[in-house]
Amino acid sequence: MMGLTIETVVTCSSCKFEHHFTGEQIEQIDQVFAAYIRNTVDARELQVYTDDDLIFLRVNRKLPSVSKIYPGVAMRSFGPERHVGRSEPRIDWKRYDEWRTQGDEIKAFVAATRELEKSDPDLAIARYREANARFIEHERNHPPDIENKQIGWCDQSAIRRLATLLRKQKHYAELIDEIEVFHIRFPATGPNENNLTRWLREARERLGREPSAEYLEAMCESNRLAAETRERQLQTKKLPVSLVGEQHYRTAVAGIGVGDEVRIWHEAGNPYDALALAVTDTHGQTLGYLPKDCFLRRAIHQEGKSCSSKVLHLHKGERGFTQVTIEVQLGGEPVQQRDFSRR
């Protein structure tokens, strides 16, 4: 393709999605954008050319340049199945970078507060409340023209640490109030089973308190949003699912790329989960597992649905390992069984 050489894949600092471009030199990026816009380059063929953070930032700054070549074309995420909108507003990448930087500053504030949890827990609680308020305000200012936006969601790092401290100090009433208010503001954070929802349930049982009407209404709204998303996915028969346990299979994960085919297996004899669905590469090396609370997993087991899959997205997580998102296509090869393996 245009004599360019595939170099590497990185995650764009602007949108958190893998961007795929090819280039021997950074100056050739514009040519690749132009080829993509003309639909002469397939998304899976494109790779990001980068050597270090400086070039990485320069690549990101190149993103809006296609709009100059093709007026009226808005730059969107360039991962698989993501396309360029021709009638949508142009993204203000400078504004989005500033928004992301502000979020990173709040996360750093949360990380610094952890050192105070033992020496001065009251001060830590006050700082976590401040950080949570800043996250809420930060989410209100989310740039409206960014596609990668989950409705009803907010960063939970501050509320989780706040709830942890309140629980340790047995301040159950405050714990209930803090978590309920957060879930009411951001309903997408509420229905999944996690530490917050479990601690909230335990605190209610200790105090004999029932969920507030506002909280129940927010959870209904969350379920409605989740149902709409699920229906949209079912209509396209393509369902994105983030794997769990990838940190234990880093060598195998390092060998895969976006667009690679993967296989889903019912793992017989798994001592931790009798219904485990393992995801492997084409050589049989385990990459991770479908999460237990994934409705797709239940559908595969209960309804006997068949599927095929490919890697949709690779993202360097906060804990240093690569997180894998696959796209499951219903109606492909049936899920087969294999014996449990620690590979």
> What span, in angstroms and rounded, lies between the C-alpha atoms of 229 and 239?
10
What single-letter amino acid sits at 226? Answer: A
Residue closest to 185 by CA, chosen among 223, 149, 217: 217
Phi, psi of 70 (to 5 degrees): -125, 85
Please tell me the predicted confidence (pLDDT) of residue 333.
Answer: 63
Q: Which of 100-109, 168-177, 238-247 has the highest mean pLDDT?
A: 168-177
- CATH code for the structural domain at 238-339: 3.30.70.2330
Which two three-digit tokens encode residue 236?
């396209």
Q: How far is it, in rounded angstroms, from Cα 59 to Cα 53? A: 10
| CA–CA gap between residue 262 and residue 308 (Å, rounded) | 8
Q: In angstroms, rounded to a whole number, what is the distance separating the alpha carbons of residues 180 and 210?
A: 11
Query: CB–CB of 204/239 below 8 Å?
Result: no
d(CA 264, CA 336): 8
pLDDT of residue 162: 95
Which pLDDT score, from 0 to 100, does residue 168 have?
93
Question: Are 32 and 22 contacting, i.e. CB atoms less than 8 angstroms apart?
Answer: yes
Q: Which residues contact 302 (CB under 8 A, 6 or more apart)?
A: none
3-state secondary structure of 208: coil
313 and 17 Cβ atoms separated by less than 8 Å: yes
Which of 186, 179, 181, 131 minimizes the C-alpha distance to 153?
Answer: 186
Structure tokens at 31: 């040519």
| Mean pLDDT across the chain | 68
Q: Where are the alpha helices (DSSP H) in 41-171?
A: 53-62, 65-69, 93-113, 116-119, 121-140, 157-168
CA-based radius of gyration for the chain: 22
pLDDT digits (tens, 9 = 90+) for 46-85: 333 333 332 333 334 333 333 333 233 233 333 332 333 3
Dihedral sign for Cα atoms in the order 179, 184, 185, 191:
positive
For the segment 197-221, what is each residue's pLDDT rounded down to a tens digit? Answer: 888 889 999 999 988 888 888 777 7
pLDDT score at 304: 62
Q: How far apart are CA 290 and CA 198, in angstroms?
A: 21
pLDDT confidence of residue 134:
93
Residue 184 has pLDDT above 70, yes or no: yes
Range with lowest mean pLDDT among 137-151, 218-232, 254-268 = 137-151
Task: Report phi then psi at 152, rounded to 5.
Answer: 75, 30
The confidence score (pLDDT) of residue 87 equals 35
| Domain spans in the chain, listed from the N-terminal domain onward | 1-90, 93-233, 238-339
Question: What pLDDT was estimated at residue 7?
Answer: 37
Question: Rounded to the nearest 5°, which phi and psi values hold at 294?
Answer: -80, 120
